[in-house]
Amino acid sequence: MDPDASIDARIDDLHLDLLACLSRVYGAAAAPAVADRLVALARRTHAARPADLRALDERRLAAPDWFQRPGMLGYAAYADRFGGTLAGVGERAAYLRDLGVGYLHLMPLLRPRPDPNDGGYAVMDYRSVRPDLGTTDDLRALTTALREHGISLCLDLVLNHVAREHAWAVAARAGEQRYRDYFYVFPDREMPDAFEATLPEVFPDLAPGSFTHDDAVGGWVWTTFNDYQWDVNWANPDVLCEYAEVVCFLANLGVEVLRLDAIAFLWKRLGTDSQNQPEVHDLTRALRIVARIACPALLFKAEAIVGPTQLPAYLGVGEHAGRVSDLAYHNSLMVQVWSMLASGEVGLATLALQQLPQPPATTAWVTYLRCHDDIGWAIDDTDAWRAGLDGAAHRRFLSDWYAGSFPGSWARGLVFEENAATGDRRISGSLASLAGLEAGDPHAVDRILLAHAVVLAFGGLPVLWMGDELGLPNDPHWAEDPAHAPDNRWVHRPVMPWPATDPHGVRARLRHLVETRGSLPHLHAATPTEVWDPRDPGVLLVVRRHATGPLLAAFNMTDQPRRVDADVLHWLGLHVPGLRDALTGAAPPLEHGSVPLAPYSAAWLMAH
């Protein structure tokens, strides 16, 4: 198809959707003018798009499920800690490809303000790269090199705020009204006090309150996260158009996925917590429409670490179904895996995971065990009550267990951001150290592989955190860098050791899991995930159905032998002579019709 005809067809197809989103946010009278600006931007972006990226667009349009396929594996890392520079990351592309990686998320690398910069999330220029990592040309070269290895690059795009040193904020402080209108600025404390009556504090110890007085701008500025991060005013359509330009700029450099950081905070509403407001989903959908017109190879990933009831909206529900973001983090799965490993009980996890609806068939959860951040124990009190637990008590138990202070704990984590008012504590630590490897526990490697087996079988796009494939423990030197010393999350952000060795055999066994997953059509992200009520309180049961027959993934979350009961096999039609475990490639042993499970082991059961 002629490229111009292709974009015309997409505009015709999506223009009414764009108008509808903009009308709900800005009103019917203002929407057409904003839509015209965005469509004109999409045309300019498409016209300037390099030929190889236009070809990629066509391939993605022809195979829109490319990121949902069972052969897809993600990896996340800091560029400087993985390869030193962007060029150094490119030199490690073959290592990633050999692991099975087809998606690489590099942590914030757009130019931030000088330290402190919230780990790079206080961006002062969306169109340039951290000087120590390289240049914009180096970024373009990296996306090209990765694409040659079949790897798509994901970058962070911070949507809620910019650094105080960003050009928009500098202009606002200089008195330019146009840019002052890009932010929330109040002359006195009347409105900040009114908003703060219902606003939770994100960093109550490090950055109390949600507003900061700035003498240069002459008022109180909304600063949700830190005093140097100014929240932008998405009620101003100029802000939407600015960010649409940034999206298109990065897409034309070859970036294929944008992680939309702090997305839940975009819309402010008096009398609420100013999170998860309906306008957030319309604004994201509008940005996605622009991308679908101009650069359809680009995906959106929502960084929405919110409650289970609020999470589905970031992939789209109702009229937004499948039209907001393509990917969203399954934070609940991560939390529940660690909860099961600590308690040896699967009842709470089963109840919690059953509450989350299936994502739209064109989208996927990002499933993971660790990331750059701490672990917050997002245990819903109602779920805990239904499982016969006290939510607050269970959260305290998990914090004690993973800090290594609970009797018998094999974990070696660090407490991060203890809330004195609620008693909640978050935990930092590498996957290996949290799983017992640092403590020398004999079951540690089995726990690491079991946890990965859950994530790989659950559905979605599984993402590994850098070094987890090697069983890297906590970095004992994390606090020696003065810039890192105040933030113990750097304990699980070690420098990648090269040459990469596999002293515990984690990588080899993980590679087997990844290869097995890639051979199973049941594990395509569009296939619904069923979490079955447990027969054994220590065994998690997950079912994935396919036209060729069901797959039963069973996980023994305890240090004792357990089993998959015969009745489960009968219900699924797996009580047949052809029963096999995809992980071993052989028929499992049977004991009175049940499949035995060794401590901390998994079985992916299916019929020939």
Model confidence at 208, pLDDT cuts 50, 70, 90, reads confident
| Mean pLDDT, range 567-574, rounded to an integer | 96
Q: Which residues contact 486 (CB under 8 A, 6 or more apart)?
A: 206
The CATH architecture of the domain made up of 161-231 is Alpha-Beta Complex (3.90)
Q: For the chain, what is the mean pLDDT?
A: 96
Which residue numbers are catalytic? 261, 303
Q: How many CA atoms lie within 13 A of 205 on its CB side?
A: 9
- The structure tokens 């009398």 sit at 271
Question: Is the per-residue pLDDT at 582 higher than 80?
Answer: yes
Task: Give residue 2's pLDDT.
Answer: 56
Q: From CA 38, how far away is CA 42, in angstroms rounded?
A: 6
Residue 108 pLDDT exceeds 60? yes
Could you report the per-residue pLDDT of 508-566, keeping only the tens digit for each?
A: 999 999 999 999 999 999 999 999 999 999 999 999 999 999 999 999 999 999 999 99
What number of other Cβ atoms are within 10 A of residue 245's Cβ? 18
- Rounded Cα distance between 234 and 547, Å, is 45
| Contact yes or no for 122/161 (Cβ under 8 A) | yes
Q: Which two tokens stand for residue 237?
A: 């359509």
Residue with tokens 């052989």: 586
- With 0-12 / 13-18 / 19 or more C-beta atoms within 10 angstroms meaning exposed / middle / buried, residue 331 is buried
What digits encode the pLDDT tens for the residues 379-414?
Answer: 999 999 999 999 999 999 999 999 999 999 999 999
Contact 303, 329 (CB under 8 A): yes
10 Å CB burial of residue 440 (0-12, 13-18, 19+) is exposed
Is pLDDT at 226 greater than 90 in this prediction? yes
Dihedral, CA atoms, 392, 398, 403, 405, nearest 10 degrees? Answer: 80
Closest CA to 470 of 441, 435, 440, 510: 510
Contact 38, 286 (CB under 8 A): yes
Q: Measured between alpha carbons, how far is residue 141 from residues 1, 79, 148 in Å?
A: 28, 14, 11
- Backbone φ, ψ for residue 228 (5° rounding): -95, 5
**pLDDT given at position 1:** 47
Q: In angstroms, how far is CA 128 from the centroid of its own chain?
A: 23
Q: What predicted TM-score, i.e. pTM, was given to this entire model?
A: 0.96
Domain boundaries, given as residue ranges, for the chain:
161-231, 523-607
User: Could you tell me where the DSSP H helices lie in 309-372?
Assistant: 331-343, 347-355
> What are the E-state strand segments in 1-122?
74-77, 103-106, 110-112
**Whether the predicted pLDDT of 157 surpasses 50:** yes
**Under CATH, which number does the domain 523-607 receive?**
2.60.40.1180
Work out whether strand 529-532 and strand 595-597 pair parallel, antiparallel, or are unpaired: unpaired
Quote the tokens at residue 529.
């995930």
DSSP one-letter string for 160-215: SEEETTSHHHHHHHTT-HHHHTTB-EESSSHHHHHHHTSPPPSBTTTB-SSEEEET
